Chain A
Amino acid sequence: MSTENDSMLKWPVQGSKRIPNWVYSNAEIYEREQQRIFQGDSWCYVGLEAEIPNNGDFKRTYIGERSVLVTRDADGGVNVVENKCSHRGTQLCQKHRGNVQTITCPYHQWTFSLSGDLVGVPFIRGVKKQGGMPSDFDPSSHNLRKLKVTVRHGVIFASFSDHVEPLEEYLGEAMLALFDRVFAERELVVLGYSRQQTPANWKAMFENIKDPYHASLLHVFLVSFGLYRLDNPTRLFSDKTGRHAAAVSWRGEQKRTQDNADIKALKEHLKLNGVTMLEPVREFEQYTLSMLTIWPNLIVQQQSNTLAMRQLIPKGPGAYELAWTFFGYKTDDEEMVKRRLRQANLMGPAGYVSVDDSEVLKFVADGTRQFPEAEGVLELGGAGWEQQEDHSVTESPIRAFYDYYRKVMEL
């Protein structure tokens, strides 16, 4: 006999053509996500090698709700460890970045190497032959929890799972090619960070990047200044599982057509007064826009010359943080750096384009929170999804995402 609660957690019979609103707000679902997704068989983005260039460098970040440290040890290796002392659970590191020889707990000074080994316990042998640890105490059984780490072209991923498949398999051929397009044979340079917290469920942000439908309808700036239109040549990729996706586009001819009549907010005569803000240079092969969503926590953004990693950090079912790392390449000349910084005006918490998304996602949360039993409708472009589609009037990447999500979550 099912209880009222049980029936709340049954996915609608139409499958991924529907999203039950409780998926954005239910606490039990959120906990299950933390365990099965963020602590499960997935690769989570944690940083760039360019952020920890020297031995002893560390960066503090999150996988799901768990605080982790990304370190470069004395041998130059990259490690990711839990930011939690193995003694009493004290959070070890209270800084975003720095350089240390060892990781020392502020409470009892237990000391760990940069790769997480317990190397020092004060008074381990007692004082004046009294107290101390028992003789069978083995420090190597009390190391920090060490995550599995993989680094590809300077991008660092970590996993709580011991048996997640290698990154190349995890991404699949199409995603790997789009990923390598941005990172292969490049030395990255961090230009800076931006962090914002949006009062919406983390999945809504992921869906937003998998939703080409809204691009020319919500983002009036893009349309008004000719940066993107629904009739721009576009291509959508999903990997074979549906969990990762890519939306790419390139400039086409800008014409007012019948289709454009649907774009109500089209303001064709807007021209920038600050013309230097958008003077893109063709830097990459083929695509002027490439947005990758890598399950479960990463968006790789290439919008003309502005490049960023957007890391998704859930903060309860009702909020997420988006941690942006803007970067360039060591080979950038001064003009290219300026270009990247100016075009960054479109992105981040104050972005000409990205503000639309953070604001609308709050409206989605405000609406769906009140009606957890209601369902979103995902029928644009059909019922299923393909691994490649050459148009953007579709919601198939979102259906693909939920197909995989439901498998992992058993929904």
Chain B
Amino acid sequence: MQETIHASSTFAHMPKHVLRSEVEDLYARYVGCLNDERFEEWPDYFMNESVYKIISRDNHEAGYPLAAWLCEGRGYLEDRVEAIRKTMMYGPRYIHRSVSAVQIGAWTGGSLMVQASYLAIETLLDEPSRVFNCGRYLDELVEHEGRLLFQRKVCVFDSLIVPNSLVYPL
């Protein structure tokens, strides 16, 4: 695989603690964008040729390819946003996402492997907030034009039985 790290790469050469604050800042902004429902900005966190998947831990660990969300490229992400805004029928809700335990791997072949824990709390109309979905992000970050973007983001969720519907991105 062609190396994309070159002399002008900033992130690949940062000290660990600086890289960590950049990565955690990215996750904070990513989650903030979704929690604020600024969904139109969500595809901007990804490379154009990226993969975004939401898949159950059951399927993931058994090696089954079936994902609840399978997005292959920016176009798919935009379609999801358009469906959320224009075509899907669903009751109003808030989804509150919380990310923690960010584990930063090494730069390998131009990608930075990052794992994090996430928890999504759902609040429906007239109902108390409840745990909706939790799991791990298994992510691959790359540097592109001075920013860190997701080349691959896989949300592996423990919650085998989805409480009704998974409408918004995680």
Contacts and interface: CB of A to CB of B under 8 A. Distances in A.
A355 B165 contact: yes
B166 interface: yes
B79 A197 contact: no
A190 B82 CA distance: 30
Interface in A248-302: 265, 267, 270, 272-277
B162 to A, nearest CB: 4
B164 A195 contact: no
B161 A274 contact: no
Contact of B72 (A267, A274, A359): A274
Interface string B50-76: 000011101100101111111111111
Contacts of A270: 82, 86-87
Give the contact-size bracket for chain B.
Answer: 35 or more
Given A273-B79, A341-B65, A350-B68, A221 B88 contact: yes
A337 B155 CA distance: 21
Interface string B1-43: 0000000000000000000000000000000000000000000
A332 to B, nearest CB: 12
B163 interface: yes
A221 B75 contact: no
A403 interface: no
B88 A349 contact: no
Given A191-B65, A191-B66, A193-B64, A273 B75 contact: yes
Q: Which of A96, A221, A345 has the most CB of B within 10 A?
A: A345
B106 interface: no
Interface string A184-205: 0000001111111111000000
Nearest to A191: B66
B66 A197 contact: no
Given A341-B65, A342-B70, A274 B89 contact: no
A326 B166 contact: no
A362 interface: yes
Contacts of B54: 350
Contacts of B82: 270, 273
B87 A342 contact: no
B56 A221 contact: no
A197 B89 contact: no
B167 interface: yes
B162 A274 contact: no
A193 B66 contact: yes
B88 A277 contact: no
A356 B76 contact: no
A350 B75 CA distance: 17
Given A273-B75, A355-B88, A196 B66 contact: no
A221 B58 contact: no
Nearest to A194: B68
A258 to B, nearest CB: 23
Contacts of A195: 56, 160-162
A97 B160 CA distance: 14
B64 A197 contact: no
B70 A193 contact: no
B41 to A, nearest CB: 16
Interface of B: 54-56, 58-59, 62, 64-79, 82-83, 86-91, 160-167
20 contacts: A193-B58, A194-B68, A220-B88, A221-B88, A270-B82, A270-B87, A273-B75, A274-B75, A274-B77, A342-B70, A348-B68, A349-B164, A349-B165, A350-B54, A350-B68, A350-B162, A352-B88, A355-B90, A355-B165, A359-B91
Given A194-B162, A342-B70, 4 more contacts: A195-B161, A270-B87, A273-B78, A355-B165
